[in-house]
Amino acid sequence: MARVVVIGAGISGHTAAINLKHKLKKSNEVIVISPNSLYQWIPSNIWVGTGHMTAEQVIFPLSIPYKKLKIDFRHAYARSIHPDGDSKSDKGFVRIEYVDSGKFEDLQYDYLINSTGPKLNFDATEGLGPNKSGTLSICTYEHATQAWGELQKIIDKMKKGQKQKIVIGLGNGGATCQGAAVEYVLNVANLIKSKGLENMADINYITNEFMVGDLGMGGAYVRNNGYVAHTKNIIESLFTEFGIKWHTKNSVYKVEPGKIFYEHIDGEEKVLEYDFSMLIPPFSGVGLKGIDKQGNEITDGSLFKPNGLMTVDADYSSASKPYHEWSGEDWPSRLQNPTWKNIFATGIAFAPPHSISKPRTTPSGRPLTPAPPRTGMPSAVMGNAVATNVADLINNNKPLDGKLKINASMARFASICVVSMGYGFRGIAGTMSVYPTIPDFKKYPDFGRDIEYTMGEPGIAGHWFKWVMHYVFMYKAKANPGWYLIPD
């Protein structure tokens, strides 16, 4: 019997856990650790932040699927990984701290999957975040609920004839998740328009992207109605239609109540004032530590990189090469730690080799490089791929350094992204499918991606797709009958 411990029960970890239980022989054990006993379908936070859904509609207790699948759940924080055990045993273990009692426990594992997602690193920008300046977030269902509360207040003011300034975007030059910020600003603009208040709102999108449509993945050329268009053109035309002004190439470095301070790529320092603002924070690792057999912290980068994300089989030396020499081969294909091969990392938890967008800084040295996004679909695909590989290793007693069943590289699979611009039966959404997720100009010299499978189009079909996706993915995450037939 083998024991697999999964740290994190978000899109990636939860997908890994339910697939492990589905694919492993019954005698094996799957344990999931998460400080949140609720599953949250984060993409629908956009609609929580615009009042179309309540927080209760995007969450459910993890006990629902875990009881059905007999997954052992620990409501706890993982605090440290001890890959070589300690003085009592050579077996690797995770030290966890229970949320309710504060008690610690050491959980031994045969295989470990780290899917802890991001720490929302508000501290990286002075004054950023809902607890400090008044800039909001929609990264959790609680944050999105709070954002909706504040949005209603400015809508009331607009109804009374007071013009309001709205700023939505990225709260740091190194932040990612541009897709969510774009989707939120479009939904907010659509909501205001639906109330006939568009003349009372000055709506702005502020970003670290070199151009809108970069989305942290260097932008994309997509097939669109028989033509090849760039995502820049598509998003600019949507922003124009919805009356949204865009401010690109900006590194936000400080926030005060009502004021956002930023440096432009040309070195000019500017201020944007706001009545309502939602700025996505940068992400970092959640603070897990690696501890060696003697009890010392492992600080040489073999388990975690300095940003707290987990070391896997990426070519990290590629980061020092010029941008035009980066390739899909730099990205990890096994998502396996090179030193402790029974440890894997999926979703936002693994350390990427470098950004996808071209790295830049402002003249004063502030970052102007979106971190590479690991959005929902790739995070779920990675979770499933690693679960399939681990189950195959265990079921067939295979060696840890042999060929794995599935290549889990983001340079080898597609991503689909749907950006809604409203809610309900009527509306449009931009649907984009890119293959591969990581552009590779060596392999696809014209467009960086395979243009046959890279397409994008705004329309009503995408709108319904996004809406249905919410219910289908909630159904799947609850492990309802036939869940495993639904793609990630």
Ligand X SMILES: Cc1cc2nc3c(=O)[nH]c(=O)nc-3n(C[C@H](O)[C@H](O)[C@H](O)COP(=O)(O)OP(=O)(O)OC[C@H]3O[C@@H](n4cnc5c(N)ncnc54)[C@H](O)[C@@H]3O)c2cc1C
Binding site for ligand X (CB under 6 A): 7-13, 33-36, 42-43, 45-46, 77-78, 115-117, 138-139, 177, 180, 286, 288, 347-349, 374-377, 379, 417
Could you tell me if 288 and 116 are in contact, meaning their C-beta atoms sit under 8 angstroms apart? yes
Distance CA 413, CA 7 (A): 24
Rank residues 12 and 384 by Cβ distance to ligand X and give the closer one: 12
- Smaller CB separation from ligand X, 78 or 192: 78
Shortest Å, Cβ 380 to ligand X? 8
* Residue (138 or 479) nearer to ligand X, CB: 138
Closer of 11 and 55 to ligand X (Cβ): 11
Contact 138, 39 (CB under 8 A): no
Q: Which residues of 33-42 are buried (b: 16+ CB within 10 A; e: fewer)?
A: bbbebebbbb
CA 228-230-233 angle, 5° bins:
115
Would you tell me how many other CB atoms lie within 10 Å of the CB of residue 261? 17
- Residues 6 or more apart from 228 whose CB is under 8 A from it? 221, 222, 447, 451
Least distance (Å) from ligand X to the CB of residue 430? 11
Least separation, in Å, of the C-beta of 382 and ligand X?
A: 8
Least separation in angstroms between CB 27 and ligand X: 25
Q: CA 324, CA 218: separation in Å to the nearest integer? A: 12
Phi, psi angles (nearest 5°) of residue 385? -65, -45
**Count of CB atoms within 10 A of residue 353's CB?**
20
For residue 443, the minimal CB distance to ligand X (Å) is 24
Which residue sits closest to ligand X, CB atoms considered? 10
CB of 452 to ligand X, least distance (A): 22
Which residues, other chains included, contact 309 with Cβ-Cβ below 8 Å and sequence gap of 6+?
284, 285, 345, 348, 349, 350, 351, 352
Q: Which residue's CB is nearer to ligand X, number 115 or number 133?
A: 115
Nearer to ligand X, 380 or 404 (CB): 380
Task: Give the nearer residue to ligand X in terms of CB position, either 61 or 196.
Answer: 61
With H, G, I as helix, E, B as strand and everything else as coil, classify residue 5: strand
| Whether 115 contacts 7, CB under 8 Å | yes
Closest separation between CB of residue 118 and ligand X, Å? 6
Nearest-approach distance from CB 215 to ligand X, in angstroms: 11
- C-alpha–C-alpha distance, residues 486 and 287, integer Å: 33
The smaller minimum CB distance to ligand X, of residues 45 and 284, is found at: 45
